[in-house]
Structure 1
Amino acid sequence: MAEQRSGGAVGHGAGSASPGHVLVVFPGYHRPWATWINQRLDAHGVRASLQRWDPPREVPLEDSLGDLLLARGQVLLVLDDWFFQLGPRQSGEWNDVLRGFVAAHAERFAAVNLTNRTLLPATAVLEPVSLWGVGEEEAEARLLSRLGIDPGRTTGRRLPAGALVRFPDTPPEVWGEVPRRNPRFTGRDDLLTELQERLMDAERGNAACTLLGMSGIGKTQIAAEYAHRFSSDYDVVWWVSSDDRNVQRDRFGELATQLGLTTGNEPGERIRAVREALRRGTPHSRWLVVFDGWDDTDGAGVMLPQGPGHVLITSRNRGWVDHTDILEIPGFDRAESTGYLMRRAPHITAPEADEVAAEFGDVPLPLVQAAAWLGESRMEVSEYLRMVRDGRISAVDEPSGGDGIPHASLTSWSILINRLRRSQPQAIDVLSLCASFAPGRIPLGVVRAYPQAELPEDLRWMVTDLAAWSRALDTLVNYSVLSRESRGPVAGGEMGPHQESVHMHRLVHDIVSRLTDGEHRAAHRKAVRTLLAEADPGNPLDSRTWPRYAELLPHLEPSGALASRNPRVQTAVLNCLRYCFRSGEFKAGVRLAERIRENWSTFMDPVSPEMQELTNQESNILRRHGRFRDAYQLDLALRARLDEAPNPDPLGSLRSAVSIASDLRYLGQYQESERMQREVLADAQRLLGENEFLTLVAGNNLGISLRLLGRYKEAYEQDIASLARAESVLGALHSQTLTIGNNVAHDLRLLGHYREALARQEAGVRVHVRILGPQHLQTLYARTQLALCRRREGGFQQDLGATMASLLEQLEQVHGRGHYVTLSSINNYANFLREHGDLDHARELSHEAEAGYRALLGPAHPVATGVLANTALVLQASGQRADALAILEAALAGLTASLGPDHPWVLGCALNASAARNFNGRVADAAELSRDTLRRARHTLGNEHPLTLSCQVALATDLRGLRENEEASKLEEDALLTLTRTLGAQHPHTLSARQRNRPYWDFEANLG
């Protein structure tokens, strides 16, 4: 006889041969245990089959158990207390069958027990061996002992370490805020199984599935149950609440810390690092990321991870069909509805449960509330349904809410809330307060984190009575109204608004808002906005505060903060807007600014300091978002109001002029921008002095305007002076100083001083990365400029393509494909690819940049015109010379009209057009254009500038075609000598000229 182990039992037939086959019978939520048991048996040479167990209530229990015996060998039941509620059935029926049918076939049945709770008395016939609370080695020994398997006598299949499933009691290495497992989760086994199969069978890198359905259908519960049920399949399980985009980005970025990634604080930087780690599968390839409540698909391309792991989304938006596999979530089937109701309310019969399920259309959310009510109150079903149907307690008498909330759901909630009013009125206070926040994650901890905030009398108990606070929350969680979402302490141990949070479903929030709206609502909304103001970290320029701002942002409007006349609240609102600008959340910032303006315009002077600051921040965000015309109109409107105001506001007018000059620059009106910028700088120096921040900004902007006008030497002189002033006033590490340093390196490169530009830009990028982080917008721009410096300098070409491709990917992730900064990177990378022979990819990217700039700026903008030159170069390299010539002639005419004949962009386009004429047999026309272009280049850029020397080489080529060899040789020899002296004998420009390759000019699209 086999040795009996501690806590185990002697198996039937112990000492005899091991069973040839074991049927493992398990409830769906114990699939991880069944899978582990299957693998352990397989390892010992015992074949096993898995069968999920949920016997229909209408089939006699003895018949269902008898069907299990149709399999040969042993039947192993995986038990816990919930096992006997499947069906559901009364405990008496189970006891009768165990004592009768199972006892009569005791040699065929065995069991393992996974709970420390008391099982039915008659379960003793199964002699269950306990696997609860023991380690993997002991659990395996007990399992084998119960089945009479001698591990020393059996041989099985040895699996590689990577194929072994995790022991179910061992959690994944990273487990991120997955909601607690619902002990009352019912049914949905077929859905969960299908979901697992879809994810497991999906093509590597595309294992993403969206659970699609209406609010209240149970999507979040299914996702949470999947994460728990199949946790042993993953090393990383990470939950991302996605009701709000800022919270979503912040939460997803937090995974970087858990994965041990080295990254900065900017959301885009953390997201890029996480996505790259997930894509590569390092440090973990078995990962699951759940995006709960992700209804806005606009950010899918930026946020959605790919790689060897799995992505699960819950959403109401059918637009996910374009991005992921879709699994539609229906209501419960009737058996699931009635089973859930009978387990929560054991006193009701099956027909009564069926009637309640029909009343609520098998929709999980109202069924959960009905079950909670019936189970807690023990009310008779007939009375409960009569109250629901006649609406005697409900203040809502319309048949359906405007948002599709069923009348029955509203009345069910009305009953619950009235019961709470009688038994737990403080829970109603908490509910009413929650209704003044936005749905989703609610930073309810601010109530206790900031006791100094002025709360209305009916809420003051929340600060003083911790026990009552805990009881109220426990009650609401028990009634499935709220779920807790606690998070760890913030840096430095300081209490933050996100340290204690709850989650309220959108549908629940809507219903509660209706049914608790009363005399206290205005006071509660005021309390919330006061608390939000107290929770304002006060420094949106500090990236360490951005996670807090991301959590405060969704609650501004529901609390009435956007309409508040309280200066402290208004400051918090503006700080949230500044956060949107500084962190790169431009889309959210635009929406927030619009809503602030709608509210403030009703009571605030349009030229008040607050409204001026709103306009300043909104125009900044609009420009960064690429909405240049909207920013311009906004700034013009403010200037008009300032001009009409009875009292002059010199500083306000100065700030307005700074914004308008920037708008004009982005709109391509370079001459007017430069004229206005000079006036602005003079006014700033007169009003504020040389060292004020606004004066430094004005000087920086003037340098940008000069550079866009092609006056590179003047731009360099202005930027060098601005840099010296900024380093003295702000310090070398200030972001404004770093910006001006970028500009100086840009000037040097455009002047042809490639080596000096490269050295300066390399040093600047190192500081940018250290101070701002590698994914900050300003750093990405600096890194893009560094790539261009390396390309022009002529070295570092081997890895440059990979660098430019990586930069493009990062810009797309941070700002999107159509953003003007990303379009610039697309344009630059296309130029590189064309130069290195990848014409197909270059053509694709060139067309994308051309179309993107045309849509963004309009066809007449100098940048939109200039990118045509790059498209033409791709066509020319592909042999489409006539088409290339037509495009270049059109681009040349357009640039000349908007910029004048001497602008470097016009000269570069003319260089390309002369080549196109030559290639199309119009050699005399080419020579004429080349001669005129060389004359203008010498006047504008000087005799030694690389573009001037390219024009000289081009003219020599054309003259040689006209057999004017003497002049051609003289021009060519002089150009080669100058190129060798200025750039070096091995520089690509010098080598190309020596080989008599026709020079060309790349247009670098830049909006300043």
Structure 2
Amino acid sequence: MAELRRSGGDGASASERILVVFPGYHRAWAAWIAQCLESHGHQATLQRWDPPREIPLEDSLADLLLASGPVLLVLDDWFFELGPRPAGEWNDALRGFVAANSDRFAAVNLTNRSLLPATAVLEPASLWGLSEEAAEERLMRRLGLERRRVPRPSAGRARYPETRCEIWGEVPRRNPRFTGRDDLLTTLHQRLADADRGAAVCTLLGMSGIGKTQLAAEYAHRFSPDYDVVWWVNSDDRNIQRDRLGELAVELGLRVGNEPGERIRAVREALRRGEPYGRWLLIFDGWDDTEGIATLLPQGAGHVLVTSRNRGWSEHTEILEIPAFLRAESTAYLLRRAPHISSAEADEVAAEFGDVPLPLVQAASWLGESRMEVPEYLRMVRERRLSTVDEPATGEGFPQSSMTSWSILLNRLRGAQPQAIDVLGLCTSFAPGRIPLGLIRAYPHADLPEELRWMATDLPAWTRALDTLVNYSVLTRETRGPVGVEMGPHQESVHMHRLVHDIVSKLTSEDSRVVHRQAVRTLLAQADPGNPLDSRNWPRYAELLPHLEPSGALSSAQPRVQETVLNCLRYCYRSGEYKGGLDLARRIRDHWSRIMDPLAQPMLDLTTQESNILRASGRFRDAYELDRSVHQRLGTAEPRSELAELSTKGAMAASLRHLGRYDEAHELQLEVLDGYGRLLGPDEGLALIARHNLGVGLRLLGRYQDGYELDLDTLAKRENVLRARHISTLNSGGAVAHDLRLLGKYRDALARQEPVVRLHLQVLGARHPQTLSARGQLVMCRRREGGHTQDVGPEMASLLDQLAQVHGRGHYRTLAFITNYGNFLREHGDLSQARELIDEAEAGYRALLGPAHPVATGMLSNTGLVMQAAGERAEAMSMFEASFAGLTATLGADHPWVLGCALNAASARNLNGRIADSVELSRDTLRRARHTLGHEHPLTLSCQVALAADLRAAREHEEAGKLEDDGLLGLTRTLGAQHPHTISARQRTRPYWDFEPYLG
């Protein structure tokens, strides 16, 4: 082996300065080599090298020798395509200049493929397929350097390039023909490295076809040794984006359920903390809709890349504009892909396509595969463009020539490979981006059109067609599954660029489009798991949903396809994707209203799901009007459908409850329950739902005992019919505990709710919306029970954060908990934060429900309590009186909410010197509380203690003393001697009542 010239005086033991020369494509190897050299006491300088074609190769090689030490070339077949240059030029330079300076040059080889014959002069040490230890040993031996055992810290070390990072998530395969962009990649890496912690987010911005995705993928591969986690998130569709980001939770080992929002929050928290990995890279590809950024973008020590066409990202992240290729990059790509053309011809083709990467890729693929001469190719492109005056525009500044070049390609394939045209047409009936093309192999017995059945039965023909399209750069292959595991054809997916999808669609005949869309609709229906309630099926629904409209599924008259469409909508509701669900419901209604009767069963099912999503989004009035309009139509329809009417009435009752019209809702719900019981039987699923909803209405009416008895019976029926772990059974268990708490049986409520929450956590996960509600109820049970006061505060703060992440702070469920936490803080002396929270909740409810809604009115009482605690007595009394009067007018004088407001109003009258008025109100309130809630209810006993205080102020001490003694005995019996309410009453602290908002 040739010996390298030494710069030190003591031979191999001297410290060397080595210049490591590499193409940008192999930056990871160069970094690892430099690390190895430095760990043995040597100095390494990295030099990315791409010698310009116009400079003689000997001159570029001579420039490398200006360095003082050995020059190490990092070789593979890619190295000899730099420029690119003819193989003969490289061989001449190696045999001449390099051979003459062999004492200065050394090389390592990263491939098992043949290199140029003259490479032998470098005597490259092969590192291909070696372990890290063996590669390091061979590198040092080739350079003639002694290995020194120097301890190397693990932190910050470059990973051996053959070792994949800990988590590698669906990054597109590396493009072996990736060209240029080295300066852009270096700039991007530097920006991310220099950014402050939590702010390392950069958006690659540019028009379609400019190469944003390719650049992001190359960055991931080139700089992967810098990261422990690299995770790719396709972001063209919101549902797929959320599902894909949530999948990272499983890879990180986080113990969460299947609900996308829960998984995303867990992922963001883990990344923020840097546990279990602090060096991570997330890439959101094709994220054009900037809504919801705050709930998806992670923060922490890692890096985030976004690719987008939307300039709105400049308001949220740093922007890196992606320009067209430099002319040298364009010509280099063309010359590598089609080596038979000249540099001048490559320049002409690049000019024709405006140096835009996507059309250049297609042009290069055509020239490389067909071996056509450039003059002939350009003549075809130009003549076809001039003669086709009706050719559709491509938009976005995309060169018009590209449409013509695609037309030429398709014409060639029609003659040479018609089956590839079939596959391509099928792809255009899916949405662009990731296409689950393997569905056609997964369901070979699907009822496909006769001319497409070969796709399911003839695997060799299928493979040839796909290979052709991949070779012509029309599609790229993707697979989903663990790294290193080969996926079968039935699991295969491909990626079709949005712009290619658009162009090919325009060049596809209408007859073909009809056939292909029918096939895709059939496949989507076959792939429907059939149960959107099961969260294990949600990833499949997220995959199917984007393809409904392109395939024509939304306008299909086939019942099986319509059911798939509805199941996708049900998935949106169950998974909490309300915004996407409402948009999908609108599009379904737009299509179906043209092809079916408004009262057809699919339309009624659509209304049910849309109404559910509207209510879940807080749009109660819209939901009610939607259901009411359908109910009016049903009332005049012939023949009559009583079940449809009952379903619509049940939805209307739910909306009326949320709107505060409790009596109307109750009467309607009674009709629904009676009807289902008569038509279906008392234990059928719909009847049980109606029973549960009747219990909700009874709670809102203040009929707590009636609600408890009904809910207890419903729970028993559901445990018998559905079993204990069913989501509806869990809901009934929570309802019983809620009733017990409202009845003042705090210990019993707590004992009920604790196992209910444990089951919710096991079955649904910690952050499922129903689990969060159950956890909120548990916190309130602990607070009312009185023995967990020290633990409740931090638990409430944490739960409020989680609710806000799931629903947003303006959602009615979050507002309810904001209220409860604000009341807790006020009770424990934090008036400042309590006022902020109560003010926020009051304003939120007023905006959501209107000022006259019972919940918005009841919130005034909470505001009054804060004011009274702050010494603002007159202002507090105004709030109490307004709340008392407003709720009396809407709910009646005996409703428990009214009784609580009356308790607070009497207290304010006393504090403001209106003793006689206070006594009168307190006496009336006690009488009504005993009638409504019973003598032993905590609110009744509080009213009794309050009346005693007012009577003392009025100097009626005998009656006051008797009432107080009886009240203390009652509190001791019901709550215990050490309960905070009992202690406060013993200390003669005036009782109060905080309003707990509830919408059902």
Q: What are structure 1's unaligned runs of at least 5 residues? A: none
Cα 1:87–1:910, aligned 2, differ >3 Å: closer, same or farther? farther
Cα 1:527–1:58, aligned 2, differ >3 Å: closer, same or farther? same
8 A contact 1:580–1:589 mirrored in 2: yes
8 A contact 2:369–2:472 mirrored in 1: no
Distance 1:836 1:777 in 2: 28
1:174: Cα distance to partner? 1.8
Find 1:510's aligned residue among 499, 502, 508: 502
Distance 2:580 2:181 in 1: 37
Give the aligned partner of residue 827 of structure 1.
Answer: 819
Distance 1:923 1:379 in 2: 103
Distance 1:220 1:346 in 2: 26
My pick for the range that moved more, 336-345 or 120-129, is 120-129
Number of matched pairs: 995
Distance 1:390 1:876 in 2: 85
Cα 1:844–1:190, aligned 2, differ >3 Å: closer, same or farther? farther
Cα 1:631–1:315, aligned 2, differ >3 Å: closer, same or farther? same
Deviations 1:520-544 (A, max 9, x none): 2111111111111122222222222
What letter matches 1:32 in structure 2? Answer: A
Distance 2:321 2:824 in 1: 46
Find 1:142's aligned residue among 138, 150, 155: 138
Q: Kindly report which structure 2 residues correspond to 1:797-816, keeping only aligned pairs within 5 A, or say none.
A: 797-816=789-808
Find 2:245's aligned residue among 252, 268, 272: 252
What letter matches 1:846 in structure 2? Answer: I
Cα 1:917–1:29, aligned 2, differ >3 Å: closer, same or farther? farther
Cα 1:946–1:375, aligned 2, differ >3 Å: closer, same or farther? same
The SS at the match of 2:771 is helix
8 A contact 2:4–2:105 mirrored in 1: no
What letter matches 1:235 in structure 2? Answer: D
With the length of structure 1 as denominator, give the TM-score of the two structures. 0.93
1:839: Cα distance to partner? 4.0
Find 2:346's aligned residue among 345, 349, 353: 353
My pick for the range that moved more, 882-891 or 751-760, is 882-891
8 A contact 1:761–1:786 mirrored in 2: yes
Distance 1:884 1:701 in 2: 36
Cα 1:44–1:813, aligned 2, differ >3 Å: closer, same or farther? same
Distance 2:489 2:127 in 1: 41
The SS at the match of 1:50 is strand
Residue 175 in structure 1 maps to residue 171 in structure 2: no
Distance 1:872 1:259 in 2: 47
Residue 471 in structure 1 maps to residue 467 in structure 2: no
Percent identity of equivalent pairs: 71
Give the aligned partner of residue 204 of structure 1.
Answer: 197
Cα 1:897–1:53, aligned 2, differ >3 Å: closer, same or farther? farther
Distance 2:635 2:875 in 1: 51
8 A contact 1:497–1:535 mirrored in 2: no
Residue 756 in structure 1 maps to residue 748 in structure 2: yes
8 A contact 1:498–1:551 mirrored in 2: no
Distance 1:496 1:269 in 2: 31
Give the aligned partner of residue 652 of structure 1.
Answer: 644
Distance 1:178 1:755 in 2: 54
Deviations 1:485-514 (A, max 9, x none): 222499xx9x99982211212111111111
The SS at the match of 1:205 is coil
Deviations 1:914-963 (A, max 9, x none): 44555566666655554444443333323332223333444445555566
Q: Kindly report which structure 2 residues correspond to 1:983-1002, keeping only aligned pairs within 5 A, or say none.
A: 983-1002=975-994
Distance 1:581 1:865 in 2: 30
Distance 1:921 1:758 in 2: 40
Give the aligned partner of residue 707 of structure 1.
Answer: 699
1:764: Cα distance to partner? 1.4
8 A contact 1:236–1:287 mirrored in 2: yes
My pick for the range that moved more, 654-663 or 840-849, is 840-849
Q: Kindly report which structure 2 residues correspond to 1:667-682, keeping only aligned pairs within 5 A, or say none.
A: 667-682=659-674
Distance 2:911 2:99 in 1: 97
Distance 1:760 1:112 in 2: 70
Give the aligned partner of residue 379 of structure 2.
Answer: 386
Cα 1:229–1:899, aligned 2, differ >3 Å: closer, same or farther? same
Q: Kindly report which structure 2 residues correspond to 1:8-87, keeping only aligned pairs within 5 A, or say none.
A: 10-13=3-6, 15-87=11-83
Distance 2:226 2:556 in 1: 50
Cα 1:233–1:998, aligned 2, differ >3 Å: closer, same or farther? farther
With the length of structure 2 as denominator, give the TM-score of the two structures. 0.94
1:908: Cα distance to partner? 2.5
Residue 569 in structure 1 maps to residue 567 in structure 2: no
Give the aligned partner of residue 89 of structure 1.
Answer: 85
Cα 1:405–1:458, aligned 2, differ >3 Å: closer, same or farther? farther
Find 1:539's aligned residue among 508, 531, 539: 531
Q: Kindly report which structure 2 residues correspond to 1:107-122, keeping only aligned pairs within 5 A, or say none.
A: 107-122=103-118
What letter matches 1:38 in structure 2? Answer: A
Residue 432 in structure 1 maps to residue 428 in structure 2: no
What letter matches 1:143 in structure 2? Answer: L
What letter matches 2:936 in structure 1? Answer: E
1:818: Cα distance to partner? 3.0
Residue 308 in structure 1 maps to residue 304 in structure 2: no
8 A contact 2:173–2:478 mirrored in 1: no
Distance 1:365 1:487 in 2: 25
Give the aligned partner of residue 129 of structure 1.
Answer: 125
What letter matches 1:480 in structure 2? Answer: S
What letter matches 2:73 in structure 1? Answer: L
8 A contact 1:449–1:496 mirrored in 2: no
What letter matches 1:728 in structure 2? Answer: N
My pick for the range that moved more, 74-83 or 958-967, is 958-967
Distance 2:490 2:569 in 1: 19
What letter matches 1:582 in structure 2? Answer: R
Cα 1:912–1:773, aligned 2, differ >3 Å: closer, same or farther? same
1:562: Cα distance to partner? 1.4
What letter matches 1:701 in structure 2? Answer: N
Find 1:662's aligned residue among 654, 667, 679: 654
8 A contact 2:857–2:883 mirrored in 1: yes
The SS at the match of 1:362 is coil
Distance 1:605 1:317 in 2: 40
The SS at the match of 2:210 is coil
Distance 1:868 1:111 in 2: 80
What letter matches 1:87 in structure 2? Answer: G
What letter matches 1:674 in structure 2? Answer: H
1:403: Cα distance to partner? 6.3
Give the aligned partner of residue 257 of structure 2.
Answer: 264
Cα 1:109–1:19, aligned 2, differ >3 Å: closer, same or farther? farther
8 A contact 1:712–1:750 mirrored in 2: yes
8 A contact 1:681–1:695 mirrored in 2: yes
1:12: Cα distance to partner? 4.0
Q: What are structure 2's unaligned runs of at least 5 residues? A: none
8 A contact 1:908–1:947 mirrored in 2: yes
1:228: Cα distance to partner? 0.9
What letter matches 1:539 in structure 2? Answer: N
8 A contact 2:392–2:506 mirrored in 1: no
Give the aligned partner of residue 601 of structure 1.
Answer: 593
What letter matches 2:684 in structure 1? Answer: E
What letter matches 1:721 in structure 2? Answer: D
8 A contact 2:313–2:319 mirrored in 1: yes
Find 1:721's aligned residue among 713, 720, 737: 713
- Aligned-CA RMSD value: 2.8
8 A contact 2:394–2:503 mirrored in 1: no
1:167: Cα distance to partner? 0.9
Distance 2:959 2:55 in 1: 104
8 A contact 2:5–2:70 mirrored in 1: no
Find 2:415's aligned residue among 388, 412, 422: 422
Find 1:731's aligned residue among 697, 712, 723: 723
Cα 1:929–1:351, aligned 2, differ >3 Å: closer, same or farther? farther
Give the aligned partner of residue 846 of structure 2.
Answer: 854
Find 2:400's aligned residue among 398, 407, 414: 407
Distance 2:525 2:807 in 1: 29
Cα 1:97–1:759, aligned 2, differ >3 Å: closer, same or farther? same
My pick for the range that moved more, 724-733 or 537-546, is 724-733
